[in-house]
């Protein structure tokens, strides 16, 4: 039950992009096309889950017993960066099909703040390992959802007469604002 | 001196990290629910940017090109850790309300971008001026967004009540949709401002040409 609760809250109620403003750079940058946004969404999901599976044991089994908590930021970012590199090498060699689909997004993911935020929050929320993994899946699926929604809206924006003063990026934020307003309705889902 | 002033000016309007380059947006929207948060974030950001730019600019000749990115990340992470702990010790409330966004300075594209594009190639004084300009450019936009959101969403400004008591706070602005909307208005304002300035400059150049003729 708690796992389901963590999942729903992270996916819909506290949606990572729309409610918590994380990962906005790629949200604006990578949504000009629905296929692209799906590719990016799955690449992020993949890396977030891996990063959680790697950083949770590192923090709880190595940093905590040695009282090295202050190295958290440094260690996590390096772990994520090297993880992304490893995944890239592995995919390139063994799963070329997946690499072709996801490869171009992987280098961009290292500095995606949603991933780092998830790894920090797993620690600060005191989640167990299973809860951390569920949380990371939910957050990244929320990211995928928001990406696909905006990519869909952008197709319509392209063919609409947008007022001159909000053309370009401003209209994307106006659209996001409206999507976020709709997501506000999920707030009553869990008491 | 003029050269340094020009570098400084770039960050404030023409290459404003938030409004023009559209990077580092996450923290800009998340912590702008109140002016004090925005100032805190601006100061933290400027500190990390200043220290990392000085450090990297000073050591630019010994940092090998092939491993520069990991080195940048380690340097930035070190300063982020420092500011994170300083905030927790001296401003515990501010630190709590900004939450995960202080450690997230480490992946803020503004710092990485400036370090890579500027500090790694320029001398130390230039790097200092650049980081201060970018930091100030970041802070003014943050404070602007925060002032608007706090005023409309809460009726206060940096914690003091400024709106008359009869004012009904519009909660929309402190929530996330309001943040996106206010930010959209800010970008569109800056685009307008930039267009006007470019036009004024073109008109000036045109007038100068006519004078010469």
Q: In chain A, which residues have pLDDT < 70?
A: 1, 102-104, 191
The pLDDT assigned to B78 comes to 92
**Chain A contact present for B136, CB below 8 A:** no
Chain A residues inside the 8 Å CB shell of B23: 25
pLDDT classification of B54: cutoffs 50, 70, 90 = very high
Look at residue B11 and tell me whether its pLDDT is greater than 80. no
Whether residue B164 lies within 8 A of chain A, CB to CB, comes out as: no
B162 to chain A, any CB pair closer than 8 A? The answer is: no
The Cα–Cα gap between A113 and B24 comes to 10
**Cβ of residue B84 closer than 8 Å to a chain A Cβ:** yes
Count how many Cα atoms sit within 13 Å of the Cα of residue B83 in the half-sphere of its side chain.
28
Q: What pLDDT does residue A138 have?
A: 93
Contact state of B180 with A173 under an 8 Å Cβ cutoff: yes
> Which segment, A87-91, B98-102, B132-136, B169-173, is predicted with the most confidence on average?
B132-136
For A31-51, how does the pLDDT look when each residue is reduced to its tens digit (9 = 90+)?
888 888 888 888 888 889 999
Q: From the CB of residue A99, how many other CB atoms can be counted at a distance below 10 Å?
A: 18
Question: SS3 of B161, please?
Answer: strand
CB contact at 8 A, B38 and B139 = yes
User: CA separation (Å) from B176 to A28, A79, B30, B51, B94?
Assistant: 16, 31, 8, 32, 19
What is the value of ipTM here, to two decimals? Answer: 0.83
Residues 89-128 in B contacting A (C-alpha not used; CB under 8 Å): 100, 103-104, 106-109, 112
Cβ contacts of B29 on chain A, cutoff 8 Å: 21, 24
Contacts of residue B130, Cβ cutoff 8 Å, sequence gap at least 6: B7, B8, B10, B11, B53, B114, B118, B119, B122
Chosen for mutation from B100, B105, B115, B141 (greatest number of chain A CBs closer than 10 Å) is B100
């Amino acid at each position: 039950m708690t796992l389901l609760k963590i999942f729903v809250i992270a996916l819909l109620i506290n949606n990572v992009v729309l409610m918590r403003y994380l990962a906005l750079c790629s949200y604006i940058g990578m949504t000009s096309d629905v296929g692209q946004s799906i590719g990016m969404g799955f690449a992020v999901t993949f890396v977030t889950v891996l990063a959680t599976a790697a950083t949770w044991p590192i923090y709880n089994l190595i940093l905590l017993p040695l009282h090295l908590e202050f190295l958290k930021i440094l260690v996590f970012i390096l772990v994520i960066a090297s993880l992304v590199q490893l995944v890239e090498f592995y995919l390139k060699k063994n799963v070329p099909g997946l690499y072709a689909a996801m490869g171009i997004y992987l280098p961009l993911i290292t500095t995606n703040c949603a991933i780092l935020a998830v790894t920090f929050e797993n620690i600060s929320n005191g989640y167990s390992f299973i809860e951390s993994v569920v949380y990371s899946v939910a957050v990244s699926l929320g990211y995928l959802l928001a990406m696909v929604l905006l990519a869909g809206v952008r197709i319509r924006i392209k063919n609409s007469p947008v007022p001159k003063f909000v053309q370009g990026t401003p209209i994307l934020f106006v659209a996001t604002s409206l999507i976020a307003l709709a997501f506000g309705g999920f707030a009553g889902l869990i008491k | 001196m003029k050269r340094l002033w020009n570098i400084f000016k770039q960050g404030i309007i023409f290459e404003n990290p938030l409004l023009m380059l559209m990077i580092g947006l996450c923290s800009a929207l998340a912590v702008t629910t109140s002016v004090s948060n925005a100032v805190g974030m601006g100061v933290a950001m400027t500190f990390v940017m200043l220290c990392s730019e000085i450090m990297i600019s000073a050591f630019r000749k010994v940092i090998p090109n092939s491993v520069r990115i990991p080195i940048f990340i380690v340097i930035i992470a070190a300063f982020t850790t420092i500011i994170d702990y300083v905030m927790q010790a001296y401003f515990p409330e501010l630190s709590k309300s900004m939450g995960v966004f202080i450690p997230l300075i480490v992946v803020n594209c503004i710092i990485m971008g400036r370090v890579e594009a500027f500090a790694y190639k320029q001398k130390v004084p230039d790097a200092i001026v650049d980081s201060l300009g970018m930091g100030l450019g970041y802070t003014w936009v943050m404070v602007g967004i925060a002032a608007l959101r706090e005023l409309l969403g809460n009726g206060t400004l940096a914690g003091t009540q400024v709106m008359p008591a009869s004012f009904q706070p519009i909660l929309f602005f402190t929530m996330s949709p309001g943040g996106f909307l206010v930010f959209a208005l800010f970008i569109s304002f800056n685009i307008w401002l930039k267009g006007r300035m470019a036009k004024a400059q073109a008109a000036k150049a045109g007038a100068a040409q006519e004078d010469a003729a």
